[in-house]
Structure 1
Amino acid sequence: MSRVAVMGAGSWGTAFALVLSDAGNDVTLWARRPELAAAINAEHQNPDYFSGVALPPSLCAVSDPAEAMEGAELVVLGVPSQSLRPNLSHWPIPSDAIVVSLAKGIERGTGLRMSQVVAEAGGIDAERIAVVTGPNLAREIAERQPSASVVASTSEATAAALQQACHTPRFRAYTNTDVIGCELGGATKNVIALAVGMAIGLGFGANATASVITRGLAEITRLGQALGADPYTFSGLAGLGDLVATCSSPLSRNRTFGEELGRGRTVAEISASTRQVAEGVLSCASIQALAAAQEVEMPIVDAVAAVVGGELTPAELMTTLMSRSAKPERY
């Protein structure tokens, strides 16, 4: 059993806290709002995200970051990607703890992956940093449906320790040392899911969505290889698995956000109507900049960034993609 702090009581943070508790760890969940922490402790559920889903009685919630992390051997970062750096600036992370990122995004302004943000802003050595990625639809995991994910670290020992801490009969964890590929797959698939959602919102069928998913995987792989990732990562859970789940499920906030865009709502209107964060909306410009710096062609990412920036409509996005010049498939 490990002493674990999960920093963030949103949907994914709560679901992963449940997994860690089911695996036999002593888990404390940090909630930014004291009233939410009190509700979790009193009701043994998260009323804001998973009403009706029972949390283990042993899982406790607090609203003081220092209290949550006191004595923690494992600190899990469950806040959105763009708020990770400011939180790390004042969180007292224990000096010997393994630090785990759950966020799937690229930091705006710097183009850094989340493990890089943790290293830079938190002063954490790379061998103590890990990420969790793969097909991680939070509600299904909270409902204890069977799921497999990847725990990645440049240190095999760190990845193995995290694997042991979160492996349960319903949550199967695989290790990987390709942190670059795992993080790029997790971040970029959100942008592809926005495009798939727009296609669905516009009324298009399976041919269109399958085409976007497949060509999206090609874009992710091109960028990953340019940045030093192992191309085989993208055929696994952190690549294809995560992409399929995010693009196929109505539980995916990025796909759902894209659907609303396809139906004519604006980015501002959709964002104002939910407390959930669609990471693809926040990261698409950063991923586009990474691709441009590597001279990697990513037409789907470019088109999604143009829609998010108000330069294209979803209908124009589809026209733009379909009217590109003909090329060999392996171009």
Structure 2
Amino acid sequence: MKNVTVMGSGSWGTALAIMLQNNGHSVMLWARRDAQIEQMKTDGENKQYLPNAVFPEGLQLTSDKEEALAHGEIVILAVPSKAVRQSATDFAPYLKENQVIVNVAKGLEEGSLKRLSEVIRECVPQCEVATLSGPSHAEEVSKGIPTICLIATPNEDVAKMVQAEFGNGRFRLYTNTDEIGVEMGAALKNVMALAAGMSDGLGFGDNTKAAIMTRGITEMARLGIAVGGKRDTFGGISGIGDLIVTCTSMHSRNRRAGILLGQGKSLEETLAEIKMVVEGVNTVKAACDLAHKMEVELPITEAIYAVLFQGKDREDAVLELMNRENKAE
């Protein structure tokens, strides 16, 4: 058994802390705000981000980052994608040589257009870095509902160690050395979930959603391969698997955000109603910039960008996709 620290007490970080404590590890869950720690200690659950998921006995809570990072042989970085660089920079002085960081955020960094593992390695070069990804809602993992994910890193020994420590009879982990493909799939599927939700909000049907998902995985693979990912990765757990769960479930905050947008709410109103980070919104700008840089065509992603940031009418955006020039698949 390992000492594990989870840096970030949103829904996914909390769910992983619960699962890993139940696995028999010594787990410490860190939150930035003292008030949240006190609330969780009082309630025995994270009512703000993961209500009704009761903390198991022994789960430790702290807002002291030095204490938290000293505890963990494995450190799970569970902060929003836009906070990864600042968080990794803040944590770097307390991280030891060869300590293992498992990133669970999904996205691309705006400006640099880097994958999150690249950002983390820049900030904490002394550590091993891996990425946990796959079709996994926090609400279900915290309840022990059977789930598969994968751990991606070029270092197979690290991948196998995390696989062995994190897996259990209801949480199965595969390993994958195609870190680029895994991270690109994880980031881009959130954009497609916005599109799928928008289609639902507009009142379109299953045919439309199937079209978005099938053409969406094509876009994801097109850009992912252009930056060095492997085609097969997009047909697997972090590609089509994550796309399915994110585009079809009401657990998905990206799909829920898309529904609200499709119903006519502004981006500001949508984010205020969701009350949690919607990673697809953060990712779509970087994805479009990266596509332009690599000279890759992403019509669905470009349409979502136009709706979110250029005032494009939602229905017009969908219908324009349908009326693009005829072509072979």
Please give the TM-score of this superposition, normalised by the length of structure 1.
Answer: 0.96
Rounded Cα–Cα distance in structure 2 between residues aligned with 1:38 and 1:164: 33
1:271-286 residue pairs with structure 2 within 5 A? 271-286=271-286
What is the alpha-carbon distance in structure 2 between the residues aligned to residue 75 and residue 254 of structure 1?
A: 26
| Distance in 1 (alpha carbons) for counterparts of 2:202 and 2:154 | 42
Matched residue, 1:83: 83
Counterpart of 1:310 in structure 2 is 310
Could you list the runs of 4 or more consecutive aligned residues of structure 1 that deviate by over 6 angstroms after TM superposition? none
Cα separation, 2, equivalents of 1:105 and 1:257: 16
Kept in 2, the 8 Å contact 1:100–1:131? The answer is: yes
* Cα displacement string for residues 193-249 of structure 1 (whole angstroms, at most 9, x for unaligned residues): 000000000000000000000000001111111111111111111111000000000
Q: 1:283 to 1:176 in 2, by over 3 A?
A: same
Question: Is residue 115 of structure 1 aligned with residue 129 of structure 2?
Answer: no
- Provide Cα deviations, 1:224-281, integer angstroms capped at 9, x if missing partner: 1111111111111111100000000011000000000000001111122343111000
**Matched residues in 2 for 1:41 and 1:25: separation?**
19
Confirm or deny: 8 A CA contact 1:149 1:237 kept in the other structure.
Answer: yes
**1:119-138 correspondence to structure 2 within 5 Å:** 119-124=121-126, 128-138=128-138
Decide whether the 8 Å contact of 1:187 with 1:283 is kept in 2.
yes
Q: How far 1:108 sits from its partner (Å)?
A: 0.8
Q: Distance in 2 between matches of 1:108 and 1:257?
A: 20
Q: Distance in 1 between matches of 2:253 and 2:37?
A: 24
Q: How many angstroms apart in 1 are the aligned matches of 2:137 and 2:313?
A: 28
For residues 53-64 of structure 1, the aligned pairs below 5 Å read 53-64=53-64
Stretches of structure 1 lacking an aligned partner (at least 5 in a row): none
Alpha-carbon offset, residue 44 of structure 1: 2.4
- Of 97, 100, 112, 2:99 maps to 97
Once the two structures are TM-superposed, the CA of residue 157 in structure 1 deviates from its matched residue by 0.5
Check conservation: 2:253, 2:274, Cα contact below 8 A: no
Mapped to 2, the partners of 1:166 and 1:41 lie a distance apart of 24
Which one-letter code corresponds to 2:187 in the other structure?
Answer: A
Alignment of 1:185-196 (within 5 A): 185-196=185-196
State the alpha-carbon separation in 1 of the partners of residues 86 and 275 from structure 2: 19
Q: CA RMSD in A?
A: 1.2
Q: Distance in 2 between matches of 1:325 and 1:273?
A: 37
Provide the C-alpha distance between the structure 1 equivalents of 2:232 and 2:148, rounded to a whole number of angstroms. Answer: 17
Q: Which residue identity does 2:95 align to in structure 1?
A: I
Instruction: State the distance in 2 between where 1:119 and 1:192 align.
Output: 28
Q: Which residue of 2 aligns with 1:323?
A: 323
Q: Residues 36-89 of structure 1, C-alpha deviation per residue, up to 9 Å, x if partnerless?
A: 212323332111122221121111110111111114211110000001111122
Amino acid at match of 2:136: N
Matched, 1:260 2:283: no
The answer to whether the Cα contact below 8 Å between 2:28 and 2:71 also exists between their aligned partners in 1 is no
Residue in 2 aligned with 1:158?
A: 158
C-alpha displacement at 1:124, in angstroms?
A: 4.2
Counterpart-to-counterpart distance in 2, 1:207 and 1:319: 14
* TM-superposition CA deviations, 1:268-316 (whole Å, max 9, x none): 1112234311100011010111111111111001111111113312112
Opposite residue 308 of structure 1, the aligned amino acid is L
Structure 2 regions of 5+ residues with no counterpart?
none
Return the letter of the residue paired with 1:97. Answer: Q
Give me the whole-angstrom Cα distance separating, in 2, the residues matched to 1:69 and 1:108. Answer: 27
Greater shift in the superposed pair: 193-202 or 273-282:
273-282
The one-letter amino acid paired with 1:107 is E
Q: Would you say 1:143 and 2:173 are equivalent positions? A: no
Change over 3 Å in CA distance of 1:299–1:124 after alignment to 2: farther
Q: Distance in 2 between matches of 1:261 and 1:39?
A: 32
SS at match of 2:90: coil
State the partner residue of 1:183. 183
CA distance in 2 between counterparts of 1:97 and 1:257 reads 36
Which residue type is aligned with residue 78 of structure 2? Answer: G
Equivalent residue runs for 1:5-24 within 5 Å: 5-24=5-24
